[in-house]
Structure 1
Amino acid sequence: MLSLLRDNILYGMAGLRFLSGSIEIIAALLMLYYGTVQKAVQINAGLAMVGPTVLILVTSLGLIGLADKLEFWRMAVVMGGVGLILWGVRG
């Protein structure tokens, strides 16, 4: 049962990354379609929400999958690291 849960978590993590990559490719195609720097900047601004959201979701899924292997303080360190990344790149 635990193996099935881990497989589902792994597929969920990979699926979110595929979705994120697909969104990035679609955004690039939209930038080319509209053909203006103004539209490209607007599309890029929309992507600014996708990256951190995917990072948090994938990390959360990974931590859930590792919950039985990691001590609580190690999970807290990873979550703190993600928080520092998000804090460090804020505009």
Structure 2
Amino acid sequence: MQRRGNPVRLVIALSVAAALAVFLLYTSFAGGATPSLKPSQLAGHRGKLSVSGYVLGPVKGDPHAAGGLRFKLRDIDGPHQSVRVPVVFHG
């Protein structure tokens, strides 16, 4: 004797799957609000952004002091590794 599945379980499972799909789509679009750039791409950009790069020493200062933590960034890879960007971090 074969047991028939409960259609309520199917509806609940499909509803949960749809909700997760909507959440993933929302976070993929909403997460793009802050641009993420390389140090060589910073020219002409203003406002809030995220920078990923290789930290070059010497690292000096204190992030909680008025002068901040000072260091330089360069691209991790690619043709623009010679571009160095000075950073003053407060936080």
Q: TM-score range by the shorter chain?
A: 0.3 to 0.5
Structure with larger Rg: 2
Structure with more of its chain in strand, by fraction = 2
Larger helix share, 1 or 2: 1
